[in-house]
Every structure is written in structure tokens, then in C-alpha cells.
Amino acid sequence: MTTLAEAPSRQSKSIPSSRVGTDVLMIYPKTGIDFGSTVAPPHGMLAIAAPLLKEGYKVKLIDQRVDKNWKQHMTDALDTNPICVTIPSMIGTQLRYALDTAQFIKQYTNGKIPIIWGGPIPTIVPEQTLAHELVDIICVREADITFKEVVGALQSKQSLKGIAGCGYKDGGKLIINPERELLDVETLLPVPWELVNVEDYIHPDMYLKVNRTLDIGETSRGCPFKCGFCSSASLRLRRWRAKSVEKTLEEVTEMVRKYNLNGIWMRDDEFYVNRNRARGICEGFIRENLNIRWYTSGTRVDNFIATPDEQVAIYKQSGAYSCKFGAESGSQRILDLMKKEITPDETMQANLKAKKSGIIPVFGLMMGFPTETFDEIQQTIDMMIRLRKANAAAQFETMTIYTAIPGTPMWDLALNYGMRIPETLEGWINFVFDDYDPEGKRSPWYNAEDRNKLGNISYMSVLANSLENVLDSIQSPFKRKLAKVVYALPRAYFRWRLVNKHYSFDWDLKIVRYLREKIFYRGYFIFK
Ligand code: B12
Ligand code: SF4
């Protein structure tokens, strides 16, 4: 049997070795919620493509979310006999599309072209991923260099034996090589934007309320904190590595000017870890007169309240229109359990400080931790009500249900409380979603009735709060307006229900669940 370390290369087929066609075909699968700002550029794929392009490989990136003819384009590229195909995946619906795509590719190519998987799933469950019949090779953790080395070895029919950070199959045996050191992010190559149609990722923004917003990627990777639920710990080993102020400014300025952006997202796990650097970047935005609104994924409330007012004013002046705070819970016991190292009072203070500075706070809240009672969940909802009372501009994301993920600091606790890891790769598809836990695999510390209640609260929080913001990112102004008018009544109703604790009956949420299964999971382009 041919080992994958000696996988068939392009030379073994009819295409001559001179580089015609595609050398590396990258497919970004749908995620199931593919409209508006959720369609962010496939930064993981772009990152691993950059070193290949520098070496002269021809890379084709097909994003199923934006390319309606992706299947045709994919088969066209497969017909040119690439060295390999790559597929990333997060846990959740994206995995469903990733597996379907891999299945199609295997059949179409008679299994002749190796499929390389990378991203969060192979990193958290490498053996389980590699064992799957639709997976030939995996890259674990940051693959910027690993992937280039794997492609080089495949092309020259060499073994993958010495390549740190990858796994492969050898005569039926699963081989996972030692890990690779994390990278110095200052040395990363620029994002190869030429591989995508950047306009496909420029949206009206749900938080910034400007029409040309682009997620420009990360200016730092990782986070030194140890919140028990967070994947950053497992994926990036709690090491915060940042690009310099100069490099960040250069990259942002170029994109803003080239694409006439009025909004940007920076996807850092924790942008503000080094406040001097954050200040330097903001001063640069002002100096360069970028005139943008910007947003970054993570902001700790303790960091924000410790920041001098004069520095927050610089953030604001530079365009920090809104700030996303990981508030997580209104219960101190639960915050301590997850080692968040903040207090509900600090969250209230951050809310007021944001109000005073003219920054719109967006709060992330969670529930469903082992041992968490409904009284404690109610404390979180009460905190949400207090936050909005103190600051009418405060926004809320979906109240998510805690999902234990391998490698996260609370993983062992969840296992001790009876959580069962999905036995197959397919098991991770529905693992994160509230209404797919009938057997109590994900939250076994609750009974079936309480698990259903958790699902109801989470859905109600989407309908009462976060959906409104997402609708603001619909491209077409007409559809945007229509969606908001249609949605106004349900929003008021679900707000009322959430605030008044009507979590148990759910005939109406059954309709919502049905629609999600029938519409979002089918990947329709309904909102484009
Ligand atoms: C943007 C984003 C999204 C977007 C979609 C992504 C997009 N491009 O549009 C949206 C909003 C849709 C989304 C949704 C979800 N997300 Co998300 N998301 C992110 C986020 C913030 C940024 C991803 C990114 O671009 N990173 C920048 C790139 C450069 O880093 P990277 O992706 O890690 O890529 C590197 C490696 O992973 C690897 N790599 C990546 N892809 C590939 C592919 C191949 C073939 C190879 C070889 C290597 C490789 O090499 C890259 C370079 O080093 C990350 C957090 C983060 N900072 O990464 C979370 C993150 C990926 N999401 C996560 C989760 C949990 C979700 C949800 C399940 C949340 C939920 N409860 O609903 C949903 C699932 C969606 C679904 N239905 O399937 C988790 C993943 C956990 C896990 N172990 O799977 C993360 C890590 C957040 C976290 N800290 O918990 N998400
Ligand atoms: S939740 Fe935020 S602060 Fe906590 S570890 Fe993750 S990225 Fe860091």
C-alpha cells in the first residue's frame, strides 16, 4: 500500500511538471450561518497560503460561502491534478460541510489526491481526526510553516517523517510528529489578499454601523489568561505574541486606503494585553488620519477599567466605536470557577466607563457550567438587565452554553462531571449546539428538562439581542430594512420572555429550531 508520506504527486499523472493549473487547492467550507459580517475572510487559509505563494506554488482558494459555483470551480481545479487539497474546520456546522466536501473530493479523484486537514479540530483531537477515512494528513496548531514543508515533501515524494507539527498515515498506522514551536508573529508574511475577492468580505457592520467593514485579521495571537472555557489556551498555549506597532499600522493603513474601508475588525484573542502597544496603534490611526471605526474581539473588563481615561479617549478618537467585553457571568462563584479573574462589579464599572467615553460596550455572556444553578444563571440575566438600565447603548451577544473543548483549562472538570467526548469526528458537528444534547453528552450535569431550558435561554438571547445586530450587516439596504421590520415584534416578545424568566415553554422556539435546521444548515444564500 502506498503510504501518504509518498502520496501520488502531480508528476505521476498526465499533467506535465511545469506548473500549469493549481498546485494547492484550498476549500473553505460553509459554516451554516453564512451571511453579513459572519462571512469573515478565511484568514487561516490565507496565512498558510502566503509562504507557498512566496515559493512560487499556484494556490487556488475556494470559499464556499461566497462562491455560488464553488463545486464547478472545485472540480475544474481538481482536474488540473493538484498536489493536495486542504480543508479547515472548527467544531460546529462547518465540520458537516467539510466532511461532505472531502467525501466528494475522494470520490471525484478516486482517492488519488491527499486531503490535508488543519485548524482547530485537528489541533484539539489529532488522533480522532487523522483516523477518519476522509483525512490523509493533518497539520496541528499554527501551520504557517508546517504546511509549506508538507507540500514540499509531497511534491518531491519525500517522507513526512521529520516535519514537526504534522500527522500522517503510514501503512494504516497513524503517525503524529512532535509539535512545532509557536511562531514569532512579527515575521509572518503579509496576508495574500490577491487569493480572494476582498469585496466579498466587506460588509455593513453589525456593531460599527458603517458600510465598508473588513476583518483584517490578527495583530497578535494568543492570550496569557486562563479562562477555563477558552480555546485560546489549547490552540495557542497561553502565549501572547504581537506584531509591532509599526507592522500593524503598515498593514492596516494599506488595507484601509486600498479598499476605502470605513470600518475594521481586528481578530486578536486579546488586543489590549500590552496597553502601550494598544495606545501606539491607536495614536497611529489618528496620525494617519484613517477615519475608521474599529472593533476587536476580546477586551477584559479589568484591563479597560485600569486604563487611564486619557488613554481611553485616544482609543475612542482613533475609532474604537465599540468594545467587546468578556463579562461571562453575573455570579462571582461561576466567575471564580472558570478562573476569569474579574467581578460582576468590574463589569458594571466597565459599562459606565464605556458610556462616559462614548464607546458602545458589547457583552459576551455564558451559562451552563458544571454545578451552575438556575439561580446563578438568573444572576447573569439580572446583570444583563442592570447593564442595559445603566447604559441603554449596551449590546449583548448570544448567551452561549458552556461547551468543554479538549485542551481548555476546564476540560478535566467537565470530564469529572460526566461529560463524554464525541466518539467520532462527526460527533463534533452538533456538539456545540443547545438542542442537540438529548442524551446529555455535552452538559450531563443537568437533567433533560434543564438542558432544554438552557437551550431556550440561549435561543431567546439570540432573538432578543444578538440577531438585531446581525441583521444590520445584511448587504442589501432593502432586505436589511425588511428583515428589521419583520423582526421588531418577535424581538420585543423574546426580550419580554427573557427578562421575565419564561424559559420553560418552547412551542415557538421549536419553530425556530426547525428553521435553523432547514435553512442555515442547508447553507442557502438567503440574505445576500
Ligand atoms: C472568525 C471566527 C469565526 C467566524 C468564521 C470564520 C471565518 N473565517 O469567517 C464565525 C463567526 C462564523 C465563527 C463561528 C464559530 N466559531 Co469561530 N472563530 C473565529 C476566530 C475569531 C478567528 C478565526 C481566524 O481567522 N483566525 C486567524 C487565523 C490566522 O488563525 P487560525 O484560524 O487559527 O489559523 C491557523 C491554524 O489554525 C492553522 N490552520 C487554519 N486553517 C487551516 C487549514 C489547513 C488545511 C491547515 C493545514 C492549517 C490551518 O494554520 C493557521 C495559521 O497558523 C477564531 C479565534 C481565533 N483567534 O482564531 C474563532 C474560533 C475558531 N471559533 C470557535 C468556535 C467555537 C466557533 C463556534 C462553534 C462558536 C459557536 N458557539 O457558535 C462557531 C462555529 C461555526 C459553525 N457553524 O461551524 C473556536 C474554535 C474552537 C474549536 N476548537 O473548534 C475559536 C478558536 C474561538 C475560541 N477561542 O474558542 N467563528
Ligand atoms: S476568554 Fe479572553 S481573556 Fe480569557 S483566555 Fe480567552 S482570550 Fe484570554
* Mean of all residue pLDDT scores within the chain: 90
pLDDT tens readout for residues 3-50: 333 333 333 333 344 446 899 999 999 988 787 778 999 999 999 999
| Residue with CA at minimum distance from ligand 2 atom 3 | 225
Least confident segment among 280-284, 415-419, 518-522: 518-522
Position in ligand 2 atom list of the atom nearest CA 230: 6
Ligand number nearest CA of 523 is 1
Question: What average pLDDT does range 125-147 have in this prediction?
Answer: 97
What are residue 283's phi and psi, to 5 degrees? Answer: -60, -35
Res 471: pLDDT: 80
Distance CA 421, CA 434 (A): 16
What are residue 94's phi and psi, to 5 degrees? Answer: -55, -35
pTM, rounded to two decimals: 0.91
277 C-alpha vs ligand 2 centroid, how far in Å?
18
> What is the full DSSP assignment across 169-187?
EETTEEEEPPPPPPP-GGG
Q: Which of 24, 90, 202 to mutate to test the pocket of ligand 1 (most atoms within 8 A of CB)?
A: 90
| Residue with CA at minimum distance from ligand 2 atom 4 | 227
Strand ranges across the sheet with 263-266: 213-215, 263-266, 293-296
Residues listed for the chain: 528
Res 74: pLDDT: 96
Give Cα 6 distance to the centre of its chain: 33
Res 519: pLDDT: 64
221 C-alpha vs ligand 2 centroid, how far in Å?
11
Q: Which of 270, 299, 403 to mutate to test the pocket of ligand 2 (most atoms within 8 A of CB)?
A: 270
Position in ligand 2 atom list of the atom nearest CA 226: 5
Res 477: pLDDT: 83
Is it the case that residue 290 has pLDDT exceeding 90?
Answer: yes
380 C-alpha vs ligand 1 centroid, how far in Å?
26
Distance CA 204, CA 174 (A): 45
> What is the full DSSP assignment across 68-137?
TTHHHHHHHHHHT--SEEEEE--SSHHHHHHHHHHHHHHHHTTT-S-EEEESHHHHHSHHHHHHSTT-SE
Task: Walk me through the domains of the chain, giving residue ranges and CATH numbers.
Answer: 24-176 (3.40.50.2300), 202-520 (3.80.30.20)
Least confident segment among 174-183, 244-253, 417-426: 417-426
